Amino acid sequence: MTTTTAAAPPHLPDSRYALWRLLITLLIMTVGSSGMYVVSVVIPAVQADFGIDRAQASLPYTLLMIGFGVGGMLMGKVADRFGVMWPLLGGAVALGLGYVACGLAPNIVVFIAAQAVLVGLLGSSAAFAPLVADTSLWFVKRRGIAVAVCASGNYIAGAAWPPIAQHFVETVGWRQTYLGMGLFCGLAMAGLALLMHARPPALSMAAPAPVAGRPVPGMRPFGLSLGTAQGLLCVAGVACCVAMAMPQVHIVAYCTDLGFGAARGAQMLSLMLACGIASRLISGAICDRIGGLRTLLLGSGLQCVALLLFLPFDGLVPLFVVSAMFGLFQGGIVPSYAIIVREHFPPAEAGARVGTVLMCTLLGMALGGWMSGKVFDLTGSYHAAFLNGIAWNLLNMSIAATLLWRVSRGATGRAAALSS
């Protein structure tokens, strides 16, 4: 008589391999997320080249972010089923081809199509939501900080790529800049993707025992159905990122309009996103202590404060200071959604559910980028756009506070039931 035992996973959570994999993930996200920041830098050059207005020049970013978001949900489902390596390889090919197509675009329609489909939907999307979900499945003890490190790749891209792109736009032109990025980013992302073949251990290990005071993944999240809970997180994701998009998408154009020049705007964007890296790491450590929902509410409240500070200050030095503050305040918001999903939803659905929520954050960025440009065209000023962002930010705060209240009420009810 022979007995069989379940095979142990080849790699354990929180292991040395998990740390090595986190480093590779960080590099992939830094390369793959370049598209969402480079397009912001080239808005003035593209507008002048194609002879279009500011709202039309904002459309490539808007549709890229829509494609990025929808693609993240689809790529998350693919990663859940086949592993994260395969969507990453496909994304590398699409990203490289997308950049080349942008550089060769004869008109704004072709440029927008390349940004939306190749760079957004099929390219960069593979290097964001699937990687965040994958990282959340490789760590238990320090899940918050691990997800924050992973998501920091998105901001490292934001800190590194704008000045690089601005330099090459000024020296060789925006078209040649895109062609060079297509070659580099496509090859680099493909090579790194080949190192990501192992499947997460959380999918093969037994579910952890419930811990007092903490939610149990897979049960009714926030005391709601899975669909309702997912829907509220999606609305919150849209709202926070409509607000977030105003400075991130339009800071270069804003500085140009104020007479400071595009180069100063690119430096400001780089500083904002560099501070966002620190914010994500700090927020990850905080998240490990207070949980995803409280971290979301904290970050959202601080982001609202930073948006308010953009209203009275439009000098060069004050704008640098407020941009740094904005980066420090809002960097931890988006990663907190992945932690919330991991804390409240089944781990086997992490890729699809994280991808869906992050899709909504990207849709919010897309809507906010376009909306800010439209408000500028209608009013000739960005002040109304900042006020619009603040209103959306308040909606996000109200949802986060409501969900936190429901969780706290549920925890109180469970404690009372246990003590009775």
Query: Three-class SS of residue 14?
Result: coil
User: Is it the case that residue 136 has pLDDT exceeding 50?
Assistant: yes
Q: Is the model more confident about 410 or about 53?
A: 53
φ and ψ at residue 382, rounded to 5 degrees: -90, -5
Structure tokens at 285: 């450590």
pLDDT at position 85, please? 96
Q: Which of the four pLDDT bands, split at 50, 70 and 90, describes residue 101?
A: very high
**Separation between Cα atoms, residue 292 and residue 404, nearest integer Å:** 10
d(CA 43, CA 55): 10
pLDDT score, position 346: 82
Contact, 79 vs 58, CB < 8 A? no
Write the burial class of residue 340 (CB in 10 Å: 0-12 exposed, 13-18 middle, 19+ buried). buried
pTM for the whole structure: 0.78
Helix extents (H) in 137-225: 143-172, 174-193
Q: Sketch out the chain's domains with CATH numbers.
A: 16-201+216-413 (1.20.1250.20)
Give yes or no for residue 3 having a pLDDT over 50: no
DSSP-H helix ranges across 311-382: 316-330, 333-344, 350-379
| Class of residue 412 by CB neighbours under 10 A (exposed 0-12, middle 13-18, buried 19+) | exposed
Residue 156: pLDDT over 80: yes
- Average pLDDT of the residues in 142-147: 92
Q: What would the mean pLDDT of 17-23 be, rounded to a whole number?
A: 96
State the DSSP code for 116. Answer: I
Q: Average pLDDT, stretch 331-336?
A: 88
Distance CA 121, CA 258 (A): 34
Q: Which helix (H) or strand (E) holds 103?
A: helix 85-104
